[in-house]
Amino acid sequence: MVVIAIIAVLISLFIGGVSKVKSRAHRTECISNLRQITLAWQKHPTENDDRLVLNYRPHSATNNAPPLPWVQGDYHYTYDSVTNADFLTNPQLAAFAGTIPNPRVYRCPAVRHDVQGVPLIRSFGLNQYMGAGTRSETEPDYQTFTRLQDVANPSQIFTFLELNPHTICTSMARVPMDTNQADGYFHMPSFLHGGRAAMAFADGHVDAYGIRDKDTLRTYQVDWLPDHRFGMTNTDVLAIRELTTYPK
């Protein structure tokens, strides 16, 4: 019995070690993917008179004229937002398609989620204040960045954030800035790397944001949820706001 118990402990330790190695490999690949996306984001203004890539535009069959958004993505009423790889790799739909032809770059390898049986294809959202075509007009007192030179402190303003796979939808990463919007809704950061989410910044560096609030860390038991609403006391809303934009 003692021998069996020892073997069981060793197997448990081995499985735990393998799991940690796999988790680190996923995080490394996710960071690498985000670096490729960030390079494409930095390349765009060098070829477009310093203009940042379009962030969001509702997709339709007649709405594909330039300028194109970095990728296509719409709200939760259309599953194509996060299941149709054409929204990432079709050069008639996505501005980054020519630079990033491989759809796997847009997806964290740790993601095992799907929408009605179809795997998610994208893990990242672009700061809603980055580029034209965003919904930032709802909060006009805050700076929207349409040119790279608009970003006064690029090492402190995020561009892309790895999002919770249960809530990702549009091409944007939505963060409420108006403190009067007590329930301003928020695309939550991912929790798949030990409570950390890959985050890129306007100066090009990529880091990881550590989740701080238990509400953000909740594990959901359904495939896909609508945007969740948190009061402005959510610690992660408050922290990520500081990395999103600033008053005009």
Name the most confidently modeled range: 73-82, 109-118, 155-164: 155-164
Average pLDDT score over the chain: 81
pLDDT of residue 181: 60
118-141 CB burial, b ≥16 within 10 A, e <16? eebbbbbbbbbbbbbbbebeebee
The CA-atom distances, in angstroms, between 214 and each of 89, 165, 225 are 36, 17, 18
Percent of the chain with pLDDT strictly greater than 70: 75
Token code pair at residue 14 = 């081995």
98-139: pLDDT as tens digits: 999 999 999 999 988 777 778 889 999 999 999 976 666 667
Rounded (10°) CA dihedral 100, 103, 109, 115: 140
Q: Which residues contact 212 (CB under 8 A, 6 or more apart)?
A: 235, 236, 239
What's residue 246's pLDDT? 93
What is the reported pLDDT for 35?
97
Enter the pTM of the model.
0.85
Does residue 144 carry a pLDDT above 60?
Answer: yes
**Which of 176, 184, 197 has its CA nearest to residue 242?**
176
Whole-number Å distance between alpha carbons of 30 and 192 = 10
How far apart CA 245 and CA 240 sit, in angstroms, is 9
Choose the weakest-confidence range: 21-30, 172-181, 187-196, 219-228: 219-228
Question: In the prediction, which pLDDT does 91 show?
Answer: 93
**Residue 33: how many other CB atoms lie within 10 Å:** 23
Q: Looking at residues 7-30, what average pLDDT do you find?
A: 59
pLDDT tier at 9, thresholds 50, 70, 90: very low
